[in-house]
Structure 1
Amino acid sequence: MAKRVNNEPLRAMAERMFVEEGMTAKSIALAIDVTEQTVGRWRKGIQGDISWDDKKTEFLSAPHNIKKVLMNELNHLSKGGDATIDVKAIKEVSNVISTLSDKVSTQITFSVFREFDNWMATQDPEKAIEFLDWHRTFLLHKAQAE
Structure 2
Amino acid sequence: MKKIVAASLVLVGIVLIGLFLSCILLPARNLGYVDSAIGSLRILNNGLHEYATAHPLKGFPETLQDLYTSVLIDETLAWGAKNHYKFSYLPEIPPVNGSIDRYQIHAQPMDGGNGLYFFTDQSGVIRYKEGAPANQLSSAL
TM-score bracket for the superposition, by shorter chain length: 0.3 to 0.5
| TM-score normalized by the length of structure 1 | 0.32
Higher strand share: 2
Structure with higher helix content: 1
Q: Greater relative contact order: 1 or 2 (C-alpha under 8 angstroms, separation 6 or more)?
A: 2
